[in-house]
Amino acid sequence: MNYPIWDLPILGGGVLIGTIAILHVFVSHFAIGGGLFLVLTERKAYRDNDADLLAYLRTHSTFFVLVVLVFGAVSGVGIWWSIGLVSPAATSTLIHVFVWVWAMEWVAFFTEIAAAFVYYYGWDRLSRPTHLAVGWIYFGAAWLSLFQINGILTFMLTPGQWLQSRSLVDAFFNPTMWPSAVIRTAVAVALAGLYALVTASVNPSADLRQRLTRYAAKWLLLGAAVIPVGGLWYIASLPPLAREISMGGAPAVTIFAGLTILFSALLVGLIFVSGYLYPRSFNIGLALIAVVIGLMTTGVTEWVREAVRKPYIIYGYMWSNSIRVADEWTLQESGLLPRAKWAAVSDASVGSQLRAGEEVFRVACQSCHTVHGYNGIRVMVKGWPRALIRYSLDHLDELKGFMPPFIGSNAEREALTDWLYAIGRPATPSAAQRVSSRFPLPAQVWAQIHGELRGAEAVPGRRKP
């Protein structure tokens, strides 16, 4: 509430962050696994005295540097830019809690970038042992960067004992840190194989292309074999509500979790058959199909990881609308608007109720909802009687377990109810019948709804359905 609200009327902030993050994850994990692929494959080429393999690695390292150091670095900046604008309070918390971890990560990142350039430009300038050493330095710094960022990201879902101790050690070594590190390392190895299949598929030598395809396929299959082990460990470490959401408590999340398994199985099956069993038939078309499936797998998996954290942005500490859990009862008494420094209205009980309700929506709801676009609230409340909207605001966390409770004064609750009712079309009896099957409402609420409907039918010129 201490920051301006960045209004994205169509996509919403969550979609923007998610789009940038999915693309960045798909590249940044390749940055780790691809570094390991380069150094181990280079060592293999020296051991086997394989000049053709070394020539391929030079070409692959060019592809690696362009993807990782250009797109990867730019998308990483994009994440900082978007989260700072969409969720400034949560971003500030992560900076303050992990300030020394961020400092170490920046050192690791600088080392990673410097080593990548030295490795790329050192093919003809460095001795073999020195070039391999630079490759190992790159991989070590890249994996250390992953390890540090992983601890911060998992803290958002499982802060663990930090909620009581406020200890950096408890925050970083949280319950899902280690299983997530296993998953991300395995994903990095798998993506190293996936990207290598792209460059291998366009190699002009048929024999080398066949060898490279089978070799790269082994990397993907090895990483894919480890991911389920880390996944089961990760699920077992989730908070009960998050586990319930992922295992059927929220149908959309369950569907996306199922898509994660489906897309992963399709990718593994495709690479096992076409890349490992029959590498001679593998081509750039199959490689690009595999990349698309891999990106889809990354997308739905990241969506599920974010969704199971609801209704929090930092579990147990900050609600998804950036209101701290510790401030909930204070804000119920004093209200949101007086504490929202950038709100156009400071008191819901004075002036236009609709204007106040719109400001309450911006402060309390807009982090997840738009008005007309993605997750648009107008469509959701279309045809709802006022009494139903009011009842829903009173029981948000009961009706939707992945939503935070409404936090604000009674006057703000009434103002938001009026505004939501105003942006939806007038309620009709048929609308009431549609919503009745979705909400187990108390009898007195239905009495209020039918009273509204009878009043609406009495308006001259109003057609009955």
Count of CB atoms situated within 10 Å of the CB of 295: 15
For residue 35, what are its two tokens? 């570094």
pLDDT average, residue stretch 289-305: 95
Q: CA angle, corner 119, sides to 114 and 124, nearest 5?
A: 135
| pTM of the model as a whole | 0.88
Alpha-carbon dihedral sign for residues 163, 164, 167, 172: negative
Q: Which residue has the tokens 């593998």?
A: 282
Distance CA 183, CA 299 (A): 15
HSE-CB for 259 with a 13 A CA cutoff: 18
Q: Where are the domains of the chain?
A: 13-319, 326-455
Residue 203 CA neighbour count, 13 Å, CB half: 27
Q: What is the pLDDT of residue 457?
A: 46
- Beta strand pairing call for 318-319 and 312-314: antiparallel
Return the CATH number of 326-455, one of 1.10.760, 1.10.150, 1.10.10, 2.40.50: 1.10.760
Q: CB of 122 within 8 A of CB of 279? A: no
**Closest C-alpha among 441, 321, 423, 428 to residue 381:** 423
Confidence of residue 388 (pLDDT cuts 50, 70, 90): confident
Could you please state the CATH topology (level 3) that the domain comprising 13-319 is classified under. Formate dehydrogenase/DMSO reductase fold (1.20.1630)
Measured CA to CA, the distance from residue 311 to residue 279 in angstroms comes to 47
Contact yes or no for 306/298 (Cβ under 8 A): no
227-234 average pLDDT score: 95
* Vertex 342 angle, CA 341 and 347, to 5°: 70
Q: What is the pLDDT of residues 97-153, one digit of tens each?
A: 999 999 999 999 999 999 999 999 999 999 999 999 999 999 999 999 999 999 999
In this structure, are residues 158 and 179 in contact, taking their beta carbons and an 8 Å threshold?
A: no
Helix (H, G, I), strand (E, B) or coil at 314: strand
Q: Can you tell me the distance from the alpha carbon of 322 to that of 302, in angstroms, rounded to the nearest whole number?
A: 20
Alpha-helical segments (H) within 122-246 = 128-157, 162-165, 168-172, 177-201, 206-236, 240-244
Flag the least confident range among 278-282, 384-388, 448-452. 448-452
User: What was the pLDDT predicted at 224?
Assistant: 97
pLDDT of 417-464, one tens digit each? 999 999 886 555 555 555 555 555 666 666 666 565 555 444 333 333
**Quick one: how far is CA 459 from the chain centroid?**
48
What residues pair up with 318 in beta bridges, in sequence order?
314, 324
**Which residue in the block uniquely carries the two structure tokens 């030079």?**
58
Residue 8 phi, psi (nearest 5)? -115, 90
Q: pLDDT of 237-263, one tens digit each?
A: 998 888 887 776 678 888 999 999 999
Phi then psi dihedrals of residue 263, to 5 deg: -65, -40
C-alpha to C-alpha distance for 388 and 453, rounded to whole angstroms: 12
- Cα of first residue to Cα of last residue in the chain, in angstroms, is 43
- For residue 353, what pLDDT is reported? 82
Q: For the segment 348-380, what is each residue's pLDDT rounded down to a tens digit?
A: 777 778 889 999 999 999 888 999 888 899 998
Averaged pLDDT score across all residues of the chain: 89
State whether residue 137 is helix, strand or coil.
helix
Express as a percent the part of the chain with pLDDT over 70: 90
Average pLDDT over residues 383-390: 87
C-alpha 325, offset from chain centre = 22
Tallying the residues shown for the chain, one arrives at 465
Q: Which two tokens stand for residue 360?
A: 């309450």
The pLDDT value recorded for residue 280 is 93
Number of separate helices (H) and strands (E) present in the chain: 21, 2
Q: Yes or no: say if 288 and 130 are a contact pair by the CB < 8 Å rule.
A: no
- Which residue do the tokens 């209020």 mark? 448
